[in-house]
Amino acid sequence: MKYIYITTENIDRQPILTSQVIPLLKGLERKGVPTFLVTSGDSNYSDTRRKSFIKSNNFQLLKAFFFFLKNNSDSTSVIHVRSYWAMIPVLFLKLFKRFKVIWDPRGLLPQEYIMRFGKLKGGGAFIVFSILEFFAVVFTDLIILVSDNFKTYFISKYSILNEDKLHVIRTFSAASSRVSIGRPVGLSFVYSGSIEAWQCIDQLKVFFDNIQRLESCTLTILTKDVEKALNFFTGYSTVTVKSLHPDELTEEISKYSFAIIFREYDVINHVAAPVKVADYIKARTPIITNGNVGDYSDALLGFGVGFSWSDNIDLPEFVNKLNDYKFNDIAFVKFEEEYLSFDRAVNSYYNLILGCLPEGKL
């Protein structure tokens, strides 16, 4: 058999492929699954386990995907599709070929177009990808979702959906966890991510301004958008901006008292499972959220590894809670085991792949 994992994401620019997809494929290979990864990239590249195509535009990329899959479809048993875009050539070929399709959407692309471009500019894309989503739900063999909320959303939206094809496999972390030796002294906050509106960067600034009025503290921003972050926090002597390699993030995040992730209250974030949570937990750094991080929202509080922030919170009481926080490594270990286990994710994917094969074995 051949198992192809395909996504329109750029392997040279998007760290999610390095931190999530490649470790997963290596884990599957160790269990005997012959994997092949197809992506976009900064250059055309091909070897025995991977192929990437230059993305001059979406049409050219999907055309390249189509002919590659067409030429390899007879020897392929399972195609695992990570993105909405890549479903277009896969669903078309499925009309004529016998491979099984696993869809792994990771989020709600139609709604993301509305969020980023507004109803006027994003409305057309919303309609197109909503239609594509419907066909993917109907004609794929298995659908893997990142959260229970995502599963509930799909069940409520599509009454024709066979619930047996829905499987929840949470965002995992393959990185090594930090071994906690001690905790930072004082209030130091860290944020890792882009400086975009959807990351609630404005709310982050409001949060930090409020804490600073009561207590001496610092904020470190870990981002590739260094210039944008420096401009956003102009005049803040207590804010530091750094750009790091992904391999350096865990150690750096572990140096701070608390990590921050804020999100808007909408369906996109309700069904999401942000990888940022995994990064923070691996660093053994308690997380401050505004409660809009999907399944994690209640779990972080329940396991004692997070705090909830809102604009109308009792600020002095909140600061006292932060100062009184007692680090508990066991709580982080239990959260990891329940929500971020890499081995559990690999085993789940492996079993689903086997279930797609005629005799249930490689």
Alpha-carbon distance 293 to 150, whole Å? Answer: 12
Same domain, 192 and 164: no
How many alpha carbons fall within 13 Å on the CB side of residue 280? Answer: 26
Q: What is the pLDDT of residue 179?
A: 56
> Does 132 fall in a domain?
yes
The CATH number of whichever domain residue 33 belongs to comes to 3.40.50.2000
Largest CA distance in the chain: 66
Helix ranges restricted to H, the chain? 15-16, 22-30, 58-72, 87-94, 109-139, 148-157, 201-214, 226-232, 249-253, 267-270, 275-282, 296-302, 315-324, 329-335, 342-356
Q: Which domain holds residue 9?
A: 3-172+341-356
Q: What is the pLDDT of residue 354?
A: 94
Distance of CA 133 to the CA centre of its chain: 19
Alpha-carbon distance 292 to 283, whole Å? Answer: 21
Same domain, 73 and 222: no
Same domain, 27 and 109: yes
DSSP 36-67: EEEEEESS-EE-SSEEEEE-SSHHHHHHHHHH
pLDDT in tens, 29-63: 999 999 999 999 999 999 989 999 998 899 999 99
Distance of CA 211 to the CA centre of its chain: 29
Residue ranges of the chain whose pLDDT lies below 50: none
Q: What is the pLDDT of residue 180?
A: 53
Specify whether the CB–CB gap between 5 and 82 falls below 8 A.
yes
> Does 276 fall in a domain?
yes
Same domain, 195 and 315: yes
Same domain, 350 and 226: no
Mean pLDDT of the chain: 92
- Backbone φ and ψ for 286, nearest 5 degrees, come out as -60, 150
DSSP 8-state class, residue 178 = P
> Does 209 fall in a domain?
yes
**How many domains would you assign to the chain?**
2
Same domain, 234 and 109: no
Same domain, 64 and 202: no
Q: What is the pLDDT of residue 119?
A: 87
Helix ranges restricted to H, 254-360? 267-270, 275-282, 296-302, 315-324, 329-335, 342-356
Q: Return the closest-CA partner of residue 192 out of 140, 239, 253, 137.
A: 253
Close Cβ partners of 176 (under 8 Å, ≥ 6 residues apart) = 250, 282
**Which pTM does this prediction carry?**
0.89
Q: CA distances (Å), 4 to each of 65, 124, 281, in order?
A: 11, 30, 31
Specify whether the CB–CB gap between 203 and 266 falls below 8 A.
no
pLDDT in tens, 286-322: 999 999 999 999 999 999 999 999 988 999 999 999 9
> Does 39 fall in a domain?
yes
Q: Which amino acid is at 102?
A: I
